[in-house]
Amino acid sequence: MNDRKTSVAVIFGGESVEHDVSILTGLQFLEALDQDKYTGLPIYVASDGSWWTGDELLKRSNYPIAKEDRDTLTSVRLSIGQARSTFGPALVASSKGLLGKVKERIIPFDIMVPAIHGSFGEDGVLQGLLEAAGVPYVGCGILASATTINKDFTKNVLSAMGIPVLPHMMAHRPVMGTHLQTREISDRLGTEMHSHKYPFFVKPRQLGSSIGVARVNNEEELTTALLDIFRLDSAAIIEPFVPNLVEYNVAVSRAFGDVRASAIERPVKETEFLDFKAKYLAGSDGSPKLDAAPSEGMASLNRDINPTDLPRDKAALIRTHACDAFLALELAGSVRVDFLGNSETGELWLNEINTIPGSFAYFLWQHAEPEVTYSELAGALIDEGFRKFEGRRRETGADMGGGTIFN
């Protein structure tokens, strides 16, 4: 009987504007692991792209980690090539030995959990690296990650499915050395969004939820918002302002067997829309059902879980649209689907899909029917990751496809 614990590498941080939130999500997942079944291996990706591991990474009080503090950590890289076939999934740790020689050692693990939000983590880039290296991992695959990070593409797919989304217009970053033609963009708004007038909402096309979102009331504010967004992304989405705005979020997963939707939350906000600071820096209204309370993060947001004034038919519609989108885009893991609504008219639109949501949306599963603790969610996601890895196995030899040229 093999009593060896499964080694779970959780990668967080990253070269992303959501670097700090990713740290919280990664630490939460490590804390949630069932210590009788799993051994957690933290992998911190610094803002400069370097990879590190070490027990010091498990302490939230050690962040932010400055370059001069990295002496307590171990520099690592993902093992690919010959080492992969010898050891399986592994990290290669490098350190300086005698006479300045570099010493390397192998740190094997069994599965990786991407907890990097946004760029280079939630967009399919990391998933592609892991598949090329033969590493089992948790969550969405390459295609699902790449398509859902692109809000324009996602909205077009969902609209074609008959799922309601807000109309939108794209604005692209000017070519280097040219000026932003705001008047031209404003004229396009009058043509392409003719039934809508200022104010509009503007947001990046390919970043996490609430990053860079701005309300603009006129052409001057539009210019300012676009210039800010174009520092973060190559394109922006412009959408009509929704009066009487109310937001609903729901998590969806197939890790438990069939596709299942969680409890529905209505974020409690003091401003007209939920920006990044309101989402991640709000106070907590309760402690999670977890052996040890996790670090703050998305779970700290003030929220109304399963709001009693949400009509039953609308709640069912939210879950139906979320599950339909999950299946159509071949998603996996614990995905959060966000909706916008007009509280006066009852209109509802699917806003966006987050394939690596803050805190893996565990707080929504805690209030689901049946309820799921974070430890149970983590275990289910890991099991699903292994199943997906086995499902991706295929023959790649040239002779199998009749493509042999050299004998």
Q: Where are the alpha helices (DSSP H) in 249-372?
A: 276-280, 312-328, 362-365
Cis peptide leading into residue 288 (ω within 30°): no
Judge whether 139 and 332 are in contact, CB under 8 Å: yes
**CATH code reported for the domain at 169-240:** 3.30.1490.20
For the question of whether the overall pTM of this predicted structure is more than 0.85, the answer is: yes
pLDDT tens per residue across span 285-337 = 334 444 334 444 555 567 899 999 999 999 999 999 999 999 999 999 999 99
CATH topology agreement for domains 6-138 and 169-240: no
**CATH code reported for the domain at 6-138:** 3.40.50.20
Domain ranges of the chain: 6-138, 147-163+244-390, 169-240
The CA distance from 28 to 292, in Å, is 10
The CA distance from 290 to 372, in Å, is 10
- What distance, in Å, lies between the first and last C-alpha atoms of the chain? 44
Residues shown for the chain: 407
The CA distance from 328 to 363, in Å, is 25
Mean pLDDT, rounded, for 37-48: 97
pLDDT tens per residue across span 159-214 = 999 999 999 999 999 887 677 888 888 888 888 887 888 999 999 998 766 678 89
The CA distance from 334 to 341, in Å, is 23
Judge whether 323 and 315 are in contact, CB under 8 Å: no
SS3 call for 388: helix
Q: At what angle do helices 374-392 and 19-32 cross, to 10 degrees?
A: 100
Which segment of 222-231, 263-272, 287-296, 352-361 scores lowest on mean pLDDT? 287-296
The CA distance from 340 to 158, in Å, is 14
The CA distance from 168 to 205, in Å, is 11
| Residues near 231 by beta carbon (within 8 Å), at least 6 away in sequence | none
In the CATH scheme, what is the homologous superfamily, with its name and number, of domain 147-163+244-390?
Answer: ATP-grasp fold, B domain (3.30.470.20)
The CA distance from 188 to 83, in Å, is 54
Average pLDDT, the chain: 88
Query: Nearest 5 degrees, angle CA 246-CA 248-CA 251?
Result: 170
The CA distance from 131 to 44, in Å, is 20
